[in-house]
Amino acid sequence: MPAKPSEVKERGFIIPIGGAEGKLKKPAILKRFVELCGGEEARIMVIPTASLLYETGPLYQNLFQSMGANSMCVPIENREECFDKETLRILEAATGIFITGGNQLRLSTILGGTPVARGIRKLNSRGVHVAGTSAGAAILSEHMIAGGRSGSSPRESGVELAPGLGLTNRVIIDQHFNQRQRMGRLLAALSFNPFACGLGIDENTAGFIGPDGRMEVIGRGTVTVVDPTDLRHSSMSYVRRAEAVTLIGLRLHVLAEGSHFNIETRQATID
């Protein structure tokens, strides 16, 4: 479960980004994140753990600084570094946390269960905004899609799941969604966890999920919402390995910029 606020205070936004978010040409998503974190008063901690490329973290740090924010990249390459006092001090002072893309299993195996992961949860419950792109988006929820098959049809063994940070248990997030044909693995994930909604987020697209559960879509693509509230039948429990899965009663929304979806009430709206 997400951490409960210790004080009467609004949670911070949770912002999954589908990857390839227009960093250099039209970084509207990142600008919105900076404004939310305080603009020139923002203190953004960049966590590039998922990436094996040295330049990933400094790229985002410089980009946020060019937008007027204070930003620091903190490379966390192993679990021991998650206990470092200076890292935790920087984390505690942040008004925004940004988790880069890469390999989401690096995130879960290095950060999972450490003071850094617990700190991110607590800070978000106290009003600090947390964004993640690509792999960084996948790990924001309680159940993380770690891998799986491409394609439009759900199949047994079609998805690999791992624990995420648990900032919300209301959604399961997939990224690069239409670009990499990931509907099938998102549906497979929901067949295991029909309590949650599925968010399939396209590249250069983000869902800004507020403390009240209301998500606003920003960007050039769409967020595909799969709502299993009315799911009446799933064959996942008895199909053979790699066979197609029957799911009856799902609801589907395809939301472009300016659309909203409330993950608490399961209602989709437009401005």
C-alpha 219: how far from chain center: 15
Whether 233 is catalytic is no
Classify residue 25 as left (phi > 0), alpha (psi -120 to 50) or beta. Answer: alpha
Whether 157 is catalytic is no
Q: Which of the following is catalytic: 176, 191, 216, 259?
A: 176
Q: Which of the following is catalytic: 21, 156, 203, 216?
A: 203
- CA dihedral of 170, 127, 130, 193, whole degrees rounded to 10: -10
Q: What is the SS3 assignment for 94-149?
A: CCEEEECCCCHHHHHHHHCCCHHHHHHHHHHHCCCEEEEECHHHHCCECEEEEEEC
Q: Which of the following is catalytic: 51, 125, 134, 259?
A: 134
Whether 203 is catalytic is yes
Give the residue numbers annotated as catalytic, written as ranges.
134, 176, 203
